[in-house]
Amino acid sequence: MGLPPAGHRRRRTAPPHRRAPDVRPSPRTSDVPGPPPWLWLCLILFAIQVPGPIGRAVGAGRELGEIDGTQHGLLTTTLLGLVQLLPLLFLSAAVLALLAPRARCRHVERRYGLLPPDHPLVAPPARRRPGVGETPVPYFHEQMAAVLAQHAPGVELRVSTRSRPSARVYPAGVRTARIGVFAPLVHLWHTDPEAARAVLLHELGHVRQGDQHVAGLGSPLVALVRAWPYVLAGLVVVPVVLLFATGDATARPVLAQVVLVLLSVPKVLLLVVAALWSAELAADRRALASCGPDSLVRALRSLGAADHGGLARLHHPPVRLRTRCALRSGEAGTHLLLTLLWPFALLVQLLLTTLGAATAFVLLGARPERVPGHVLALAHSSLTADPAWWATLAVVLLWPLLAGARSGGGRPRLLPSRPHAVAALLPACLLTVGLLPLAPGTADDLYARDRNPAPRVTASARPGAEGARPESCPSASAPPAPAAPTGLPTFGPPPAPAGTAPPAPGAYRTAAVESAEGLSGRAAWARDFGDRLRGARWTLHADGRLTSDAADVPVLRTTAAEGPTRLLGGRRTTRTDVSATTTWTEARLGADGNGSVRLELVRAVTQVLRAVVACRESTAVSRTVMRVTLRLRAE
């Protein structure tokens, strides 16, 4: 679609868009500092805390994927780990975008078709010469450029013929910015110039706050919010359904991890959405100071479909909320709401953490009556451990002084701000609670007696001796390797046919899987393990070792040999930060009377997960046992 051309009118007075606005800035609005730059604080906090979540997300699939032999748990937990990493990838891209604003500018202008106003593809048709006594009306882009030059010299205008959005800001360099204008705003400029002017002033509010480097066109943060519904459906709903359909949906460690992952996702998005909403409402506030609420409200209602339709509702506040804040911009409650938007998001994040911990404890077999005390201890310790609360308190307290220095040309000046003082009470009260000592309460016997770890004492004092005391907090280290399971089947050399020679050293290939039996756990695990051994290559070495190219089989060493039968055994232990998994394999290798080789395997896998939460240690053990018989052929 093309842009509507500007016409000519006989007019002796200045057009409405060139007149001074009728509504002057309200002293009550202009003297009170706006909300702190929560968008920048969000980006800084995530950049500082990126290494920790990456380690936890990568370890999740490696720890829990070994619980079942089907590897469906591995697929599910790997996809859930990717879901945890995805927000961090977008946030890392946002940090990198700060370092290359010109590259982002070129990408944005190519993607949205943004061109200079005098480009032939978007320039309006040439106007005729004005008649005697006629005053030529400037083209719409000349009028818009005049508004930008008046309020923010140096900000450039770019035009696109696309139907949405209406206008967006984006960086052109480290200290320069551009505003992209789209067809809806051009149409509004011809029908309601004052409302369209309010939209431009809103975008200039983003420039004044420096939001163009974090939000706006081409922002990775906005892309994260817009892509999230599709990610949630493809990488969360589908894996969980797969886990219930083909995996072990009753494995408590797997379900506990699923719950924690599902709740960690909205925690990240909640802070991003709160920061984006705060930036939009703060830009509205700057537009109100120049054009008044009526023009802004008309613009919001006229451009609601272009700016707030579809997924834009996630990164732009609802029109009703923005309208309400615009009409009540001078009230203290509105300023308090803008300032508390980010602290409230942090509070909801804490509640989600508490809910996830309670659910995970129950799934891990904790005693229900002990869970509340343990969860409260976790929430209590996380208050002071999370740097976001300390940073929020510091920003709320210092922002009136920083805003005053900025408006005063660098001279320190404290702007009066009762909303900021009231808003500081929320993080201050929560941090005070976090600093108070918490009584041990009922969190000692979280699990049943057979699962509760025995209390430990320091090495310098023996039990019962004077000065003996419990260790303050268990170290967050991996558990020891699990002990070998008891009651496993044992092999004995069967009677061999007369004249049968033992298998000679050399290479063999799995010819057939004769049987696969699950002795502990799901029967499908044994069948899947047998399927993975189909076509596997085996090598019997001269020193008695039997190796395989199958990753599930450790190196097997000969323990006994009698006639044509050889008994072998092997074990392998893998560790992560919070788990230890040991695989035991006993084997019997022998030749039958038909000249083929028969290999019988008994495989047992035990995994121990250890967690230290609020100085309380808990463990969960999973075990699978299976027996598989193979027929091998020499290569």
Domain ranges of the chain: 31-115+193-329, 340-349+358-448, 506-634
Positive or negative, the CA dihedral 340, 341, 347, 348 is positive
Could you give the count of Cα atoms lying within 13 Å of 459 in the half-sphere of its Cβ?
0
CB atoms near residue 376 (< 10 Å): 18
Could you give the count of Cα atoms lying within 13 Å of 489 in the half-sphere of its Cβ?
19
The yes-or-no verdict on residue 68 having pLDDT over 50 is no
In degrees, rounded to 5, the angle at the alpha carbon of residue 379 between the alpha carbons of residues 377 and 384 is 105
User: Is 210 within 8 Å of 174 (Cβ atoms)?
Assistant: no
The yes-or-no verdict on residue 484 having pLDDT over 80 is no
pLDDT bin (cut points 50, 70, 90) of residue 93 is: confident
Q: Which residue has the tokens 């140096």?
A: 154
User: Is 565 within 8 Å of 496 (Cβ atoms)?
Assistant: yes
- In this structure, of 45-49, 406-410, 631-635, the range with the lowest mean pLDDT score is 406-410
The yes-or-no verdict on residue 428 having pLDDT over 60 is yes
**What gap in Å lies between CA 536 and CA 532, rounded to an integer?**
8
The yes-or-no verdict on residue 462 having pLDDT over 70 is no
User: Is 434 within 8 Å of 577 (Cβ atoms)?
Assistant: no
Kindly give the pairing relationship between strand 545-548 and strand 156-159. unpaired
CATH, range 506-634: 2.40.160
Q: Which residue has the higher pLDDT, 147 or 489?
A: 147
Which pLDDT belongs to residue 333?
83
Which pLDDT belongs to residue 263?
72
Highest mean pLDDT among 249-253, 381-385, 486-490, 616-620: 381-385
User: Is 163 within 8 Å of 170 (Cβ atoms)?
Assistant: no
**What gap in Å lies between CA 496 and CA 473, rounded to an integer?**
59
8-state DSSP, 470: B
Q: What is the torsion angle, in degrees rounded to the nearest 10, for the CA atoms of residue 392, residue 394, residue 397 and residue 401?
A: -120
**Model confidence pLDDT, tens digit, residues 203-223:** 999 999 899 999 889 888 888
pLDDT bin (cut points 50, 70, 90) of residue 470 is: very low
Which pLDDT belongs to residue 334?
86
**Model confidence pLDDT, tens digit, residues 410-423:** 555 555 567 888 88
Task: Give the pTM.
Answer: 0.64
* The two structure tokens encoding residue 610: 């250890």
The yes-or-no verdict on residue 378 having pLDDT over 60 is yes
Average pLDDT, the chain: 76
**What gap in Å lies between CA 494 and CA 591, rounded to an integer?**
11
**Amino acid letter for position 624:** T
**Model confidence pLDDT, tens digit, residues 157-203:** 999 989 888 899 999 999 899 999 999 999 999 999 999 999 999 99
Percentage of residues of the chain with pLDDT beyond 90: 21
**Whose CA is closest to 500, among 586, 562, 559?**
562
pLDDT bin (cut points 50, 70, 90) of residue 591 is: confident
